[in-house]
Structure formats: C-alpha cells, structure tokens
Amino acid sequence: MTTLSQKDKNTVRDFWTKIQGQTDIIGRDTYFAYWSSGGARHFDVRPNSPSVVKHGITILDFFSLSELHAFTLCVDPANLKLLAHCMMVVLASLFPDDFIPEVHMAVDKFMAALSLALSEKYR
C-alpha cells in the first residue's frame, strides 16, 4: 500500500493549487491520451471532441466515481493505473517547470493511493 508522507501531501496540495484553473485542459488531454492508447473505442477521440472535453472534466471531479465505475460501468481496475499514468504524462508536458522529480514522485504516490481507493469497491 502506498503511504503519503506529510511532505508528499503538501507537495501534491501545492502543485494542485498551481494547476487548479486548467482542469478542463488536463482532463481533456488525459482522456485523449488514455483513449488513444486503446482505453476506450466507443467515443470520438479527437482532442477537442465534445466527448473528450466533457469526460475529461468529469474525471477530475472524483466524487462518487468509485461506486459508478465499480457497480454501474464495471470498469477494470487496471485501467485506473493507466489513466493515472496518462494524467502524469499530461501534467509533465503542461507544467514542465513545476513537475520536477519531487512533484512527480509525490503525485505518483497520490495517484496510486487514489487508484487503490477507487478500486476498493471492486472487492
């Protein structure tokens, strides 16, 4: 299990504050990367398609996603790890000056913990 230290939590919180105003772009680009890698084939996967933009905003609004994905959509928990990786690639490309190794490590731990929490409903 991934444990975030207080320093990790502060690092993620500080980084999240910097990126907060661009969640629509981050979500769109993350889902575009995910879908382009074969994550979903039933959507229009062009970068600015309404499906990508809408769902990109939705994924960054994490509330109630665990139950929705586990019980309604029956999403494979392994896809959460792929999605987290896609998001980190997007964050690194959009914020190269801020996504330094320390931030990368803290965000990676956070995304691993988040993926685990979202997949808890699958048990």
Angle between helices 50-59 and 23-36 (to 10 degrees): 110
Q: Specify the 3-state DSSP secondary structure of 61.
A: coil
pTM of the predicted model as reported, rounded to 2 decimal places: 0.70
Q: Give strand ranges (E) for 1-123.
A: none
pLDDT at 23: 85
Evaluate whether residue 28 is within a structural domain: yes
Low-confidence ranges of the chain (pLDDT < 70): 1-2, 37-47, 52, 55-75, 120-123
Evaluate whether residue 72 is within a structural domain: yes
At 83, which CATH number? 1.10.490.10
C-alpha distances (whole Å) from 107 to each of 9, 17, 52, 87, 120 are 9, 13, 23, 10, 20
Evaluate whether residue 94 is within a structural domain: yes
- Give me the domain span that covers residue 73: 6-13+21-122
